[in-house]
Amino acid sequence: MRLEMQKPPPPPPPPPPSHHLEEEEEEEEEEEEEMVAEEEMEMASPEFVSCDGAAAGGGGGGGEQQLFVPPLNFAMVDHGVFRSGFPGVDNFGFLHSLRLRSVLCLCPEPYPEANMEFLRANGIRLFQFGIDGAKEPFVNIPEETIREALKVVLDVRNHPVLIHCKRGKHRTGCVVGCLRKLQRWCLSSIFDEYQRFAAAKARISDQRFMELFDISSLKHLSATFSCSKCP
């Protein structure tokens, strides 16, 4: 018996787009999250999904089949305010369509060069309020940093603004939760929204932070921005 010559195996598929940040956060939770992601992919019938069409930086051009790829955990928070996980190159076409005026990044790592280039090309201002993405016990949510971030979000001159961290769950969830407090949402609704994005990763420490966050110093700003404002 002799071994037949075989074609070399096909190269492994390219790695998913990465935003080149150190995996400081939730290393040990990573595997579990990947399993969840796989389950979701199964539901999403990936064989029918065609997301290749969205050109980075391009808005309307191209064929009719061009599709937009919103970043992970993307959602509209209120008029002129969006939230998401870390955007990658695949998401630039979609982000372009939002005509953002600013991006508020809550990660401490240097902003990736590709993202910087996208911001420059589209005249988008970057606000960075670095908060470490530590695991529980997450004792160090810096109240002052969240407060400064909120001031940027509340300033309509920065709208439309995209708030993002790495996964759009914890740091972003805390900023949005504090915003909801200013909008006088009751805590159970704030937590419900937080949990919708954090899902299995919801942290009681984040929720305690939102609960105890003192909005009194920001109240003079909140009147200019509300869910009730509609074009």
Q: How big is the chain, counted in residues? A: 231
Q: Which C-beta is closer to a second copy: that of 112 or that of 160?
A: 160
Q: Is 6 in the site for a second copy (CB under 8 A)?
A: no
Radius of gyration of the chain (CA): 20
> Any contact of residue 126 with a second copy (CB under 8 A)?
no
Stretch that binds a second copy, among 10-18, 127-135, 171-179, 194-202 (CB under 8 A): 194-202
174-193 residues in contact with a second copy (CB under 8 A) are 183-189, 191-193
Q: Does residue 228 belong to the site contacting a second copy (CB under 8 A)?
A: yes
Q: Is 80 in the site for a second copy (CB under 8 A)?
A: yes
Check if the beta carbon of residue 86 is closer than 8 Å to that of residue 21: yes
Q: Which residues pair with 127 in a beta bridge?
A: 104
* Position 48 contacts a second copy (CB under 8 A): yes
Instruction: Report the 10 Å Cβ neighbour count for 59.
Output: 16
Cα torsion at 42, 193, 141, 119 (round to 10°)? 70
Give the number of C-alpha atoms closer than 13 A to the C-alpha of residue 85, restricted to the C-beta side. 17
40 binds a second copy (CB under 8 A): yes
Site residues for a second copy, window 148-167 (CB under 8 A)? 159-160
| Sequence-ordered list of residues with C-beta below 8 angstroms from that of 118, at least 6 positions apart, any chain | 56, 57, 92, 95, 124
Q: Which residues of 73-98 are buried (b: 16+ CB within 10 A; e: fewer)?
A: bbeebbebbbbbbbbbbbbbbbbbeb
Which of 58, 97, 117, 145 contacts a second copy by CB under 8 A?
97
Using the rule CB under 8 A, which residue among 23, 46, 120, 121 binds a second copy? 46
**Cβ closest to a second copy, residue 54 vs residue 131:** 54
- Annotate each residue in 204-223 with x if it binds a second copy (CB under 8 A) or - if it does not, as one string: x--xx--x------------
User: Closest distance between a second copy and the C-beta of residue 94, in Å?
Assistant: 8
CB of 23 to a second copy, least distance (A): 22
Within 104-123, which residues bind a second copy (CB under 8 A)? none
Widest Cα–Cα separation across the chain: 84
CA angle 82, 86, 92 (to 5 degrees): 75
User: Which residues sit at the interface with a second copy, rule CB under 8 A?
Assistant: 40-41, 43-46, 48-51, 54, 59, 66-70, 72-80, 94, 97-99, 159-160, 183-189, 191-193, 195-197, 199, 202, 204, 207-208, 211, 226-231
